[in-house]
Amino acid sequence: MSAILDKLVGLAMITVATVVFVYYTIWALILPFVDEPNPIHQFFPAREWAVRIPLALLLVGLTAIGSFIGMVMVRTAAKEKKKKSA
């Protein structure tokens, strides 16, 4: 049962990643070559957000990774200090 659930979760993750990739590719790479009056523009935010959103996600991701590494280093140092004193 767990293997089936894992496969479904994996399939969902791949599907979401593919949809996001196709949407972003159309938005960032193809849409600038389509005229403004075209109705397809209503499905996408302004072009400057094609840069702002990934930069914000990168900043949040790097901050989370740095915070995690810092917490692990502090906890490891505390455990080593506790072992030495015991």
Question: Do 24 and 57 share a structural domain?
Answer: no
| pLDDT for residue 81 is more than 80 | yes
The confidence band for 61, taking pLDDT boundaries of 50, 70 and 90, is very high
83 and 52 assigned to the same domain: yes
Whether residue 61 is found in the same domain as residue 38 = no
Q: State the CB neighbour count (10 A cutoff) for residue 28.
A: 15
What is the structure's pLDDT at 9? 95
- Chain-centroid distance of CA 45 in Å reads 18
pTM recorded for the entire structure: 0.70
Structure token digits, residue 44: 């996408």
What range does the domain containing 59 cover?
47-86
33 and 58 co-located in one domain? no
Rounded CA gap, 55 and 67, in Å?
Answer: 18
Q: Could you give the number of structural domains in the chain?
A: 2
Q: Helix or strand or coil: residue 36?
A: coil
* Whole-number pLDDT of residue 55: 97
User: pLDDT tens digits, residue range 3-60?
Assistant: 899 999 999 999 999 999 999 999 999 999 999 999 999 999 998 999 999 999 999 9
Question: Same domain for 37 and 8?
Answer: yes
